[in-house]
Amino acid sequence: MLVSLTFDVEQDCPPYLNTTRGMEEGLPKILDLLNEKNVKATFFFTAEMARKYPNLAKRIIDEGHELGCHGFNHERFDKLGKDRAGIIIKKSLSVLREFGDVMSFRAPNLQFPEFLFSILRQNDISVDSSKARYKGYRDGIKFFDGVLEIPVSVTSSVLRLPWIVQKAIHRSLSEPRVYFAHPWNSWL
> What are the tens digits of pLDDT across the range 66-114?
999 999 999 999 999 999 999 999 999 999 999 999 999 999 999 999 9
Q: Domain residues for 151? A: 3-186
CA distance 162 to 137: 26
> Does pTM top 0.85 for this prediction?
yes
Whether 152 contacts 131, CB under 8 Å:
yes
Total structural domains within the chain: 1
CA distance 8 to 108: 8
Residue 154's CATH number = 3.20.20.370
What's at 33, amino acid-wise? L
CA distance 93 to 42: 15
DSSP conformational letter for 158: G
Intervals of the chain under pLDDT 50: none
Q: What local confidence, expressed as pLDDT, does residue 120 receive? A: 97
Q: What local confidence, expressed as pLDDT, does residue 156 receive? A: 84
How far are the Cα atoms of 49, 87, 107, 154, 164 from residue 104, in angstroms, in the given order?
A: 17, 17, 10, 19, 33
Q: Which run of H or of E encompasses 105?
A: strand 104-105
